[in-house]
Amino acid sequence: MKFLCDVHISYAIAKRLNSSGFETVHVNEILDKWFTKDSDISAYADLNDLILISKDSDFKNSFAIKKSPNKFIKISLGNISNQELVEILSNNLEFFRRLNLAKRFMVEIDRNSIVFVRED
């Protein structure tokens, strides 16, 4: 299971996922770094079979309309601390591992729930 963290996801999250044994790249390390267009980020994630983690609602719309990114975790938690986000992601890694077997999915995480949309 491999992840791509969007620009507004902290490097601390990427480092934590890496230290947990998951290949993780931050968007600031690829393509045009923080200048990379959302469509290019989605294409990169799809080409490399990465699960995109982002707070950006544009990716949610793109998942529904353009069918890209193929694998997407939408963080809808506002400005929580990195530690809180790491904890939420860490507590759900096994769930994400099982999801990764699907060709297409979106997960939206908010303060009260985790909503899962799977499209194969």
Q: Where are the domains of the chain?
A: 2-118
Distance CA 28, CA 18 (A): 16
- Whether the pLDDT of residue 31 is over 90: the answer is no
Q: What pLDDT band is residue 114 in, cutting at 50, 70 and 90?
A: confident
Task: Give yes or no for a contact between 53 and 6, defined as CB atoms under 8 angstroms apart.
Answer: yes
Model confidence band, residue 67 (pLDDT cutoffs 50, 70, 90): very high
Which pTM value belongs to this model?
0.92
- Contact assessment for residue 74 and residue 49, using Cβ atoms and an 8 Å cutoff: no
Which CATH number does 2-118 carry? Answer: 3.40.50
Q: Which residues pair with 51 in a beta bridge?
A: 3
* Section 10-29 average pLDDT: 91
Instruction: Give the pair of three-digit tokens for residue 1.
Output: 């299971």
Residue 45 neighbours by CB distance under 10 Å: 27
